[in-house]
């Protein structure tokens, strides 16, 4: 059997912002077709890492390959979908018009646009609101329009920066179900950041980030077993404590 290369592969990945080393020598692989969670507290470097992966972060050193190409390569543009923390949709356009606009911008061939537009609207369960102005949609609906935009062009890797922040529990559950469907049915790799540790168990693989360093990686079960804890949150705290002891030995 031929193994697929990792969706993302980092070695010695370092990012400097101002006088600070914000990411410090990260090494990890993201399994293709997995739902991988990038977890860490606020300020740990998740957004910086995501920007490095999608090729919009300055001062990146080390090796960072995405779908077999150096991050930021022009050939990756249509293969990687990215949703930022703040949903970026036009309030004065309907959901459908937003998708038509972005499909044109992304260079989706004209004859494929109607089919793609309808497919992504149904993926994010917004068909019933297709003709509502984005400005009249709820926060959760607007972020689903953003997600639909990222699904245009059928990307192989979807990178989502805190997509469930501020959503109610039902919507969060529905979105996670959608993420798993995209991975299972279409083989999409999803890299999803969150600072909410209770989302960890919804991921197949985890990258735990703390102060710009990778604290640990593995499946939720591996991390719980490694630390002898019952939850990923406790695993994270145990790993932080042992990292601290290492840094400031008593």
Ligand X SMILES: Nc1ncnc2c1ncn2[C@@H]1O[C@H](COP(=O)(O)OP(=O)(O)OP(=O)(O)O)[C@@H](O)[C@H]1O
3-state secondary structure of 125: coil
Whole-number Cα distances in Å, 10 to 60, 68, 151, 198: 11, 11, 24, 26
Please give the residues from 42 up to 81 whose contact with ligand X meets the rule CB under 6 A. Answer: 42-48
For ligand X, which is the closer residue by CB, 33 or 41?
41
d(CA 19, CA 23): 12
HSE-up of residue 41 (Cα within 13 Å, Cβ side): 7
CB of 215 vs ligand X, minimal distance in Å: 13
Stretch that binds ligand X, among 17-25, 122-130, 166-174, 220-228 (CB under 6 A): 17-25
d(CA 117, CA 123): 10
Report the Cα–Cα distance between both ends of the chain, in Å, rounded: 50
CB of 40 vs ligand X, minimal distance in Å: 6
Instruction: Verify binding: residue 18, ligand X, rule CB under 6 A.
Output: yes
Task: Give the one residue of 11, 20, 181, 244 binding ligand X; rule: CB under 6 A.
Answer: 20
Of 37, 44, 39, the C-alpha closest to 22 is 44
Per DSSP (E only), the strands in the chain are 8-17, 20-30, 35-39, 60-66, 69-70, 80-83, 157-160, 189-194, 205-210, 213-218
Task: Give me the 160-199 binding string for ligand X, x by CB under 6 A, dash otherwise.
Answer: -----------------------------------x----
Q: Which residue is nearest to ligand X (CB)?
A: 18
For ligand X, which is the closer residue by CB, 213 or 219?
213
Instruction: Verify binding: residue 22, ligand X, rule CB under 6 A.
Output: yes
CB of 207 vs ligand X, minimal distance in Å: 12
d(CA 169, CA 182): 20
CB of 19 vs ligand X, minimal distance in Å: 7
Instruction: Verify binding: residue 17, ligand X, rule CB under 6 A.
Output: yes
What is the contact surface with ligand X in residues (CB under 6 A)?
Answer: 17-18, 20, 22, 40, 42-48, 195
């Amino acid at each position: 059997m031929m193994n697929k290369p990792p969706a993302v592969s980092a070695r010695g990945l370092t990012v400097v912002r101002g006088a600070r080393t914000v990411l410090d020598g990260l090494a990890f692989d993201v399994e293709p077709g997995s739902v991988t969670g990038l977890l860490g507290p606020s300020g740990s470097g998740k957004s910086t890492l995501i920007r490095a992966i999608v090729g919009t972060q300055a001062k990146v050193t080390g090796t960072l390959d995405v779908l077999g190409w150096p991050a930021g390569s022009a050939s990756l543009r249509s293969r990687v979908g990215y949703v930022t923390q703040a949903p970026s949709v036009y309030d004065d356009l309907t959901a459908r018009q937003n998708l038509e606009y972005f499909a044109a911008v992304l260079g989706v061939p004209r004859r494929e646009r109607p089919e793609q537009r309808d497919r992504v609207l149904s993926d994010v369960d917004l068909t019933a609101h297709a003709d509502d102005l984005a400005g009249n949609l709820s926060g959760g609906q607007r972020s689903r329009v953003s997600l639909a935009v990222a699904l245009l062009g059928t990307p192989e890797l979807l990178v989502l920066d805190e997509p469930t922040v501020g959503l109610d529990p039902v919507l969060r559950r529905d979105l996670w179900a959608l993420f798993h469907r995209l991975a299972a049915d279409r083989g999409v790799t999803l890299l999803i950041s969150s600072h909410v540790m209770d989302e960890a168990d919804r991921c197949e693989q985890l990258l735990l980030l703390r102060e710009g360093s990778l604290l640990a990686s593995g499946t939720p079960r591996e991390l719980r077993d490694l630390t002898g804890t019952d939850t990923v949150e406790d695993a994270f705290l145990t790993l932080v404590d042992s990292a601290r002891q290492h840094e400031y030995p008593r």
